[in-house]
């Protein structure tokens, strides 16, 4: 974060204490919503403009409902209304939109686009997803793990698959909060080297570890959490045939899960391509917390929103 304006662009920008503050706030607001069916109107009169280059079920609905639960309001702006860097310069979009709304959430292809929005907007900007990272998802992931295990420090998280934007934010959140992180996947699909170097620095400070492996059986043996995501992300369609050839050994299926502990949980950020990166029997099985994880996007984003609005 820089200055008085609170942006939420990457997990790496926040200290462990700041991340915990958002998580505790999310837990308090979730508990209150479940008990009372309502939250206090902490964001009464506040507006969130949601800029979407990529479609989404969870990001759109969870942000809209989080704002509504907290007394504010959010509205959708699709590619037809705003063509970032195409129909209009990003700097112009940022300055115009900042005069209409109290905060901006952007779900974009190019990470540089959300960074440029934040540079030019004088209201908070939240990264709803970029090709580099997905910090809102990581907060929901950490919330889900904490609810299940009662701790984050010392947990062993294994991400199986592509070293993509979800893997980057999960790796950084784990390293900041003291959980051990292992990535496993095909050679050439590791998380970006700079993101791994950052994570290792965070892990050294928190007492956790970062490992990159290629043997899925070895990677899941001691895992508390097995996490997977699609093999082909939006924007990678031209690589689909190649990816479908190299990723099948990394499918999260019953045989792989059997190599882990009986207490291991399975996570997926969704949307899932059933029968590819994960099988039905695992996703719908007793060790899956995939839908609790999806529901926690709503509550984790409440913690993020009250942070960026400073309430």
The one catalytic residue among 6, 107, 243, 299: 107
Residue 35 has a CB neighbour count (10 Å cut-off) of 8
Residue 262, Cβ density class (10 Å: 0-12 exposed, 13-18 middle, ≥19 buried): exposed
Catalytic residue among 156, 180, 269, 293: 269
Are the C-beta atoms of 53 and 107 separated by less than 8 Å? yes
**Is 229 a residue of the active site?**
yes
Identify whether 134 is a catalytic site residue. Answer: yes
Token code pair at residue 307: 């942070």
Q: What is the DSSP letter of 239?
A: G
65 contact partners, CB below 8 Å, separation of at least 6? 298
Exposed / middle / buried, residue 295 (Cβ in 10 Å: 0-12, 13-18, 19+): middle
Q: Would residue 172 show up in a list of annotated catalytic residues for this protein? A: no
Contact 76, 60 (CB under 8 A): yes
Annotated catalytic residue: which of 6, 113, 134, 172?
Answer: 134
CB 48 within 8 A of CB 63: yes
| Active-site residue, from 53, 229, 293, 299 | 229
Among 263, 268, 257, 253, smallest CA distance to 155 is for: 263
Catalytic position from the list 137, 251, 293, 301: 137
Q: Which of 58, 60, 69, 297 is catalytic?
A: 297
Output DSSP code: residue 5. Answer: -
User: Closest by alpha carbon to 228, among 295, 178, 183?
Assistant: 183
Q: Respond yes or no: is residue 34 known to be catalytic.
A: no
Q: Is residue 269 among the annotated active site residues?
A: yes
Is 297 an annotated catalytic residue? yes
CA atoms within 13 A on the CB side of 305: 34
What DSSP assignment string belongs to 152-206? -TT-EEEEES---HHHHHHHHHHHHHT-EEEEE--TT-PPPHHHHHHHHHHHHHH
Query: Catalytic residue positions?
Result: 107, 134, 137, 229, 269, 297
């Amino acid at each position: 974060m820089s200055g008085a304006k609170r942006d939420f662009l990457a997990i790496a920008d926040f200290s462990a204490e700041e991340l915990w503050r958002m998580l505790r706030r999310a837990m308090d607001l979730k508990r209150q919503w479940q008990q009372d069916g309502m939250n206090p109107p902490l964001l009464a009169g506040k507006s969130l403009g949601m800029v979407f280059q990529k479609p989404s079920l969870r990001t759109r609905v969870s942000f809209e409902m989080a704002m509504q639960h907290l007394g504010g309001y959010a509205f959708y702006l699709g590619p037809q209304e705003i063509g970032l860097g195409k129909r209009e310069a990003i700097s112009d979009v940022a300055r115009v939109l900042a005069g209409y709304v109290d905060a901006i959430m952007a779900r974009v292809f190019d990470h540089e686009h959300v960074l440029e929005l934040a540079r030019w907007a004088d209201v908070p900007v939240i990264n709803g997803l970029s090709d580099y990272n997905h910090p809102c998802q990581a907060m929901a992931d950490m919330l889900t793990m904490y609810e299940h295990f009662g701790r984050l420090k010392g947990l062993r998280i294994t991400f199986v698959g592509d070293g993509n934007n979800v893997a980057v934010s999960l790796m950084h959140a784990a390293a900041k909060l003291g959980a051990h992180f292992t990535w496993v996947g095909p050679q050439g699909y590791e998380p970006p080297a700079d993101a791994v170097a950052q994570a290792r620095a965070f892990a050294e400070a928190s007492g956790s570890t970062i490992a990159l492996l290629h043997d899925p059986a070895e990677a899941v043996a001691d895992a508390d959490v097995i996490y997977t995501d699609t093999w082909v992300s939006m924007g990678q369609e031209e690589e689909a045939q190649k990816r479908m050839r190299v990723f099948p050994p990394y499918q999260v299926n019953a045989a792989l899960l059997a190599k882990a502990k009986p207490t291991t949980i399975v996570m997926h950020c969704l949307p899932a391509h059933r029968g590819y990166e994960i099988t039905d029997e695992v996703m719908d099985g007793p060790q899956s917390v995939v839908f609790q994880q999806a529901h926690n996007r709503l509550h984790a984003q409440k913690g993020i929103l009250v942070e960026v609005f400073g309430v």
